[in-house]
Amino acid sequence: MEHEKLTKFRKIVDGLEPAKRTEIYTRMKGMSREEAEVFVDRMVKISEQRKIEITARPKVLAGNVPASDLPRRDYELSEPQPRTYRKAPDDSKIEIVKNPGRRVSQPSDFRPAQHPVKKVQPSVARAGRDQVARQIELRKQAAIAERIRKEQNQETAKKIAKISLKIFSKVMATVAATLVILLAGFYTFLGIIMKGPSTHLRDQFVPSVMESSAGGVLAKMILSDEEIEAILNSNKTQAFTDITDTTLVNAMAAEQNKKSQANAAVNELDPDGDGIEVHDISGPMYHGKMLVIYDPSRIMVATIDNYNHNGAGLTLKQLIDKYDGVGGINGGQYEDTNGMGIGGWPEGIVISEGKLRMGYKSGTYDVYGLTKQNVLVVGRMTAQHALDIGVRDAVSFGPALIVNGVAAKYSGAGGGLNPRTAIGQREDGAILLLVIEGRKTSSMGATMADLIKVMQDFGAVNAANLDGGMSSAMWLYDDELVSSSSIRVSRQMPTAFIILPQKQSSGVTEASEG
């Protein structure tokens, strides 16, 4: 509020009667600051209008004449007159008229609208303050408790992490120490085997690991390349320079013999008459199965449709089912880097159903397969020569075990102990399919010398070693007679020697005879 207006207001009020002055000040005490400013401003403006004469309307007291009978006097405009004062019976109500005939509301009517202030008893107010104070205190206590809880949780987490780290460190130290001990023990074990007093044990172990796809690293941990080469040369099978003389085998003898005995007693070796014998094979370090198939025309090379370095082959069972066969063994060599091959790319030669599927006609390969006259051919030749002599189904691997009745020469054991697969043929034309389990506690595996002996025992005049190791497997009539040594699922491969149903072979035989 301006100082000048306040001074004028005080002069105006000081000029009033004491009772009126007291009433104005009392009324102003109940006003807000804004209401007081409006009231003062209004009083000053009215006072400054020199042409307005303020007159007080007498108050009608109880018991007097009715107010309606009293003469009404409003504010009128007149010339300024000297100010005089007269006492009114009761001037608690003052009507201010700005112009004649127009009534002006009391100063209290100019108060801005406001909500009524609820007066609170001192005890109630004190209780409210106490409640607010308690709530604030409770919040503070809750915040302190929460902070303490978080600090305790963090401390607990640190302790747990510290204990866990200590335990983990101890466990890892134990594991590391165990691994070091095991590695040291294994290294010592390898050293004893390969550089110990037993040359026989060394000559068995080194060729065995070197023949596997990834096991050669074991020998290289102890021995130099020159030492390994020397051991392999002293335990290997000599390569043949001759190939099969097809005139030594009468491929139709087995079928003719079977027909001549059709009305005779049941063959004890083939009680079900399906033309297949199943024999258990056992040796000092191995066991396996031998299948004798009377009719060689039932044997063919099954192969995948497309060869691809990055593609996958089929399992033995899948290859058998693809050609509606009844059994079979794994076939030829294929790409198998570090033992992780997936069987999509054969190596060497592949001839299936008379067609050259892999290899160049001018290329020279180890050829192991059957001719159109159902004679097993074993030897090294060009693909063109194989086709010229009528080879219809063949693969590559090696070495040859028996050629024209002569067993291969070998030094030492002729190789290591491993799973083996071989194919052979008797003089009467019957086909021999042999699979030896290996790399198992029940069967360590066979050497080349073992294969030669088994084939000779069954009368083979020609025989050859096929792909072995983790690929070696044999199926007959939906039964896996010899399982693969693969620690993964059944190996996928590009080729297999399969056995066709007997009814198919009879048709082929009849066609050949006709």
- Per-position DSSP letters for 320-352, written without gaps between them: HHHTT-SEEEE-S-B--GGG---B--B-S-EEE
For residue 44, the tally of other CB atoms under 10 A from its CB is 18
Exposed / middle / buried, residue 23 (Cβ in 10 Å: 0-12, 13-18, 19+)? middle
Question: In the prediction, which pLDDT does 485 show?
Answer: 66
Close Cβ partners of 354 (under 8 Å, ≥ 6 residues apart): 372, 392
499 closest CA partner among 258, 297, 279: 297
| Half-sphere CA count of 132, side-chain side, radius 13 A | 6
Q: Looking up tokens 């102890």, which residue turns up? A: 222
Q: What is the pTM of this model?
A: 0.63
Q: Looking up tokens 């201010």, which residue turns up? A: 96
Question: In the prediction, which pLDDT does 208 show?
Answer: 74
Exposed / middle / buried, residue 310 (Cβ in 10 Å: 0-12, 13-18, 19+)? exposed
The tokens of 379 are what? Answer: 């030897």
Which contiguous run of DSSP H or E holds residue 256? Answer: helix 253-260
3-state secondary structure 29-78: HCCCHHHHHHHHHHHHHHHHCCCECCCCCCCCCCCCCCHHHCCCCCCCEC
Q: Looking up tokens 């190791």, which residue turns up? A: 469
Phi and psi angles of residue 378, each rounded to the nearest 5 degrees, phi first: -130, 125
Question: In the prediction, which pLDDT does 74 show?
Answer: 45
208 closest CA partner among 219, 221, 195: 219
Whether the Cβ atoms of residue 410 and residue 236 lie closer than 8 Å to each other = yes
Exposed / middle / buried, residue 207 (Cβ in 10 Å: 0-12, 13-18, 19+)? buried
Distance in angstroms (rounded) separating the CA atoms of residues 495 and 63: 137
Close Cβ partners of 365 (under 8 Å, ≥ 6 residues apart): 348, 349, 359, 380, 381, 382, 383, 386, 396
The tokens of 162 are what? Answer: 């510290």
Question: In the prediction, which pLDDT does 28 show?
Answer: 83
Question: In the prediction, which pLDDT does 295 show?
Answer: 93
Distance in angstroms (rounded) separating the CA atoms of residues 380 and 240: 8
Q: What is the DSSP letter of 418?
A: B
Question: In the prediction, which pLDDT does 260 show?
Answer: 47
Distance in angstroms (rounded) separating the CA atoms of residues 98 and 85: 20
What tens-digit pLDDT sequence spans the chain (514 residues)?
Answer: 567 878 888 888 887 888 888 888 888 887 888 888 888 888 888 877 744 554 444 444 444 445 455 454 444 444 555 555 555 555 555 555 455 555 545 555 555 555 565 555 666 667 777 888 888 988 888 999 999 999 999 889 988 988 988 898 889 888 888 888 887 877 777 777 666 666 666 766 777 777 766 666 777 777 777 877 777 777 777 888 889 888 888 765 555 555 545 444 467 888 888 899 999 999 988 999 999 999 999 999 999 999 999 889 999 999 999 999 999 999 999 998 777 778 899 999 999 999 999 999 999 999 999 999 999 999 999 999 999 999 999 999 989 999 999 999 888 777 888 999 999 999 999 999 999 998 888 888 899 999 999 999 999 999 999 998 889 999 999 899 998 766 666 789 999 999 999 864 433 444 333 3
For residue 339, the tally of other CB atoms under 10 A from its CB is 15
3-state secondary structure 72-114: CCCCCECCCCCCCCCCCCCCCCCCECCCCCCCECCHHHHCCCC
The tokens of 157 are what? Answer: 């987490």
Question: In the prediction, which pLDDT does 66 show?
Answer: 53
Question: In the prediction, which pLDDT does 321 show?
Answer: 96
